[in-house]
Chains A and B, each alone.
Chain A
């Protein structure tokens, strides 16, 4: 199966840098401790709503683990580099759809990051913080479905950013813009319902809560399977957008190198 072969190749390539990536986890875990300290500092003696201090600590810690699956996918799925070298022409000419091709590779990358980055940080937090476990097996299964949806959405977003590199050399700014929007609107550090006025409204109608807020609330047992509906909608919408953009890419391709 092509999907498996591409994903596995990407996973195996990453395995070569295992030791370096495990060291990288120290930095990532430290970021998490900084965010946890912020909430511990704010939360002491204050009402933190349905979360409570312990719940909010778990929420933030879990979000830090999820980043490697839902936020740190490859910049433009590698498409900007392909445009730069001209290799995109070859990729578009292959007898496999470009979106399927790039997506399959990225799944391998995300699977690697889940195993060697998210999971070790998760275990560290379980031991040190402690981060709560899901309340039931059903809860855990719905959470995994939410994370898979979030990973797929993250792939779609990066594919769209990568596609833009065919028309501008500045697609990396879109990547950073997406990262900035993610920071505020995904609920990664502050739950979405605490965002005031139009910020909260914008966040709720955007794709970003599907990446962190929804999976984290499901994990904490605050929401059930019905919370996955927005994720399903965005998965369908972004899939159509990715297919449409690929049609545009095939219509006229300009490369920077070659």
Chain B
């Protein structure tokens, strides 16, 4: 592919994203209500963890500030991934209705077109994520456990890396839809259940579940593993490199599965 082709593609991608955001903003009230409620839901989920921590102090040695750190990195990563790839998660609707056929006609790779559909910046969840992060880093810096000048940029980097990793898992799961069509059950396992698990320190889980979350579906590299270096100082900087490698491997596997699936795609809609 020529450099000029890539430039054209990026230009087209930006244009489609702008159209997508503009179309969402036609219903401003709906947009802001949705953003507020999404943030409220995320907050209530964190409140559950906070209540447990406030009663028992720590979870296997992880304080409320450290747990908030895990939660905020997950929230930020998930918000970024869902902002830019919301409809990768919703591929099943396209497969069942046959609407994917329409996307095949666009002058861009199908995945890229899919990623321009329903782009919506998740203000509420981002605000909540940054709020919890500020709270967590503030307390940890106050105790002298971290240095803010290094912790802030590293946290932003691992959040982006986490978004990539979550995207990779979502892509691989969505790609199975080319064979299975219905994927919501699988998403329940690979996305919902794993995201719920990594709100908590990995040490509380039994060995088999730790293995699943570290090797099978390596979501532990979204927040827990990097936090061992940034917040706890229990691992070296190599763990950040390992987290980046995990993301690259997962995205690579997802892309491969997607490409294979696309070559077998048969329209199911009417």
Contact = CB atoms under 8 A, between A and B. Distances in A.
Q: Which of A27, A190, A196 is packed against the most chain B CB atoms within 10 Å? A: A27
Contact of A41 (B45, B189, B203): B203
B55 interface: yes
B60 interface: yes
Interface string B49-86: 00110111001100000000000000000000000000
A38 B44 contact: no
Contact of B48 (A26, A28, A173, A184): A184
Contacts of B59: 38, 41-42
Contacts of B249: none
A37 to B, nearest CB: 5
A222 interface: no
A123 B223 CA distance: 34
A57 B30 CA distance: 41
B209 A176 contact: no
A245 to B, nearest CB: 21
Contacts of A46: 56
B193 to A, nearest CB: 5
Nearest to B201: A41
Interface string A84-100: 00000000000000000
B34 interface: yes
A34 B182 contact: no
Nearest to B27: A169
B188 interface: yes
Given A34-B196, A38-B200, A41-B204, A183 B45 contact: yes
A24 B188 contact: yes
A189 B48 contact: yes
A190 B41 contact: no
A27 B189 contact: yes
B266 interface: no
Q: Which of A31, A169, A180, A190 is packed against the most chain B CB atoms within 10 Å? A: A180
B147 interface: no
A189 B34 CA distance: 26
Chain A contact-residue range equals 20 to 34
Contacts of B197: 34
A209 to B, nearest CB: 15
Contacts, number: 84
A184 B52 CA distance: 11
Contact of A42 (B40, B204, B205): B204
A183 B185 contact: no
B86 to A, nearest CB: 15
Chain B contact-residue range equals 20 to 34
Contacts of B51: 184, 190, 194-196, 199
A202 to B, nearest CB: 12
B33 interface: yes
A254 interface: no
A31 B197 CA distance: 8
Contacts of B206: 37
A42 B56 contact: yes
A24 B185 contact: yes
Interface string A35-51: 00110111000100000
A20 interface: yes
A5 interface: no
B241 interface: no
A33 interface: yes
A28 B193 CA distance: 8
B25 interface: no
A34 B44 contact: no
A144 interface: no
B8 interface: no
A176 B192 contact: no
A176 B56 CA distance: 29
A34 B193 contact: yes
Nearest to A33: B209
A177 B47 contact: no
A30 interface: yes
A111 to B, nearest CB: 21
B37 interface: yes
B97 to A, nearest CB: 15
A26 B186 CA distance: 10
Q: Which of B44, B59, B203 is packed against the most chain A CB atoms within 10 Å? A: B44
Contacts of A38: 52, 59, 200, 204
A177 B37 contact: yes
Closest 5 CB pairs of A and B: A41-B204, A27-B188, A180-B44, A180-B41, A173-B37
9 contacts: A31-B193, A34-B205, A41-B200, A41-B201, A41-B205, A180-B45, A183-B48, A194-B55, A199-B51
Given A24-B188, A27-B193, A176-B37, 4 more contacts: A27-B189, A38-B59, A184-B44, A190-B48
